[in-house]
Amino acid sequence: MIDKSKPFRLVKYFTFSSLIAVFIGTLAISLLNIHWARSMQLKKSEAYALVLMENLNHQVFLQFIVPIVLKYGKIELRNPEQFQRMDDVVRSTLHSFKVAMVNIYDMQNTISYSFDPKLVGKKNMGGAAYQKAVAGKTSYKLVQQGYLWKIPFGIPKKSELITFAPLRAEREFLRISGPVLGVVEIVQDVTQDYETIFRYQVFVILTSALVMSVLLVVLIFVVKRGEGIIQKRTLERQQLEQKLNRARHLSALGEMTAAISHEIRNPLGIIKSSAELLKKKMAAIEPGNPIPDVIVQEATRLNDIITDFLNFARPRELDLADCEIGAIIDRNINFLSSQDTQKGCAIQTDIQPDLPPIQADTAMLYQAFLNILLNAMQAMPAGGTITVTARADAQGVHISFEDTGQGIPADIEEKIWDPFFTTKEKGTGLGLGIVKNIIDAHGGSIVIENRASGGARVRVDLPLQTGGHG
């Protein structure tokens, strides 16, 4: 048999692999987008810093350098009055802007002005950025502080953009076009901007993870459902194959049984009639001789066995008519009560009063129910109770036979429907097979199961209308 589940497993593995690849690709694209956002933010901060520099250069030149030169003749920031005027100009210009530090260097790389008075007079603090500014070039440097493992993920504790730009003398109508008078260092606090990017980064990653998780859940659901459907169809196919093999086996067995039974029945009839004739003659010679009676009884028993074989092998055509289930069960009970079949067995009934009639063969259902009741009695050798219930709904009539015996042993539960299988000393093993054939012929179903409280239960479901088949 070809395993059709293998292609599905390949599809499943390919789908999961594709989902993982898509997730990794999405995560990579998200990280690239975040890197692009950080780069754009840096360019924006640099442009913003350049505007601050231009404005500060303009204000310092117009409000400090020009007035101080006109008043004092030269600039000396060691003079408290000049330093205070410079501080007022710088702070008023940068007021409300996120500037953490401003340092102004002279042409000898000495800090002449700073937000931090302790830095005033310090030499050679500018480094390479100072040299570029003296040459007329503006440079930028992003400094981030925090845990080493956090900075690569864009979550530093503090981020600052340091800008070095030349301080120029201005000419009329032109800004920052004159000679370089010094160097200005501005330190901007851009921590909040990078925190915004980090929140965006977290949002993108979480959204991607959430979308992928939803897709994974949907995929798992679809795969589980697909596996369930395949397993169900595989089971149905196996059951159909088992039924087909069983039908073929029973068909061959039935043909053989019918042929053999036919050949046996004729000489058996001769034996029985000869025994009855012998009995009459023996009555005159030896009245008490039991041999003729034994021959007649055993011939009758063999004839009954052959009848079971024929009923199982070739069930007769249904004679459909309106059939009252309750009336059939009453006939079964009346027959059994008059036969003394099994002492100590009581039969209780719970029949729905308005049970609708069904289209069925009354004689065949009578035989089927009788076999079920006889089996239930034989399952209770010490006596017990059989409860027969019957209910109806839109699907049909449902009859249940429950006994208080030992139930069906687990080791024979799968064999009870096999022909010729029996646990009785004189049974043929065809009783349940005949019952099943009758129920199947009516388009119904029969199930035998153990009860939780002990004993066995036989459930028979019959449709209201039967499209009978032989």
d(CA 380, CA 157): 85
CB-based burial of residue 418 (10 Å sphere; 0-12 exposed, 13-18 middle, 19+ buried)? Answer: middle
Domain assignment present for residue 124? The answer is yes
d(CA 51, CA 57): 10
Domain assignment present for residue 42? The answer is yes
pLDDT for the residue 176: 46
Q: Collapse the DSSP code of 195 into the 3-class scheme (helix H, G, I; strand E, B; otherwise coil) and give the result.
A: helix
Question: What CATH number should be reported for the domain holding residue 415?
Answer: 3.30.565.10
Q: Which of 148, 164, 189 is the last residue of a domain?
A: 189
- The pTM of the full predicted model, rounded to 2 decimals, is 0.44
Q: Which of 158, 189, 220 is the last residue of a domain?
A: 189
pLDDT for the residue 398: 94
How many other β-carbons are positioned within 10 Å of the β-carbon of residue 327? 14
Domain assignment present for residue 212? The answer is no
Domain assignment present for residue 253? The answer is no
Regarding whether 330 and 184 lie in a shared domain, the answer is no
Domain assignment present for residue 121? The answer is yes
The number of folded domains in the chain is: 2
Query: What's the chain's length in residues?
Result: 470
Question: What CATH number should be reported for the domain holding residue 73?
Answer: 3.30.450.20
Q: What are the per-10-residue average pLDDT scores of the chain (470 residues)?
A: 57 73 77 78 85 87 87 84 90 85 91 90 89 90 70 66 88 59 89 77 78 79 80 85 74 66 71 76 74 75 68 68 90 79 78 88 88 86 88 90 83 63 56 79 87 86 68
d(CA 304, CA 306): 5
Domain assignment present for residue 406? The answer is yes
pLDDT for the residue 460: 92
Segments forming the whole domain that contains residue 437: 319-462
Residues with Cβ within 8 Å of residue 182, at least 6 apart in sequence:
104, 105, 106, 107, 112, 166, 167
Domain assignment present for residue 250? The answer is no
Residues with Cβ within 8 Å of residue 60, at least 6 apart in sequence:
86, 89, 90, 93, 104, 167, 184
Q: Which of 165, 189, 213 is the last residue of a domain?
A: 189
Domain assignment present for residue 36? The answer is yes
Closest CA to 378 of 451, 330, 431: 431
Q: What single DSSP character describes residue 424? A: S
pLDDT for the residue 379: 82
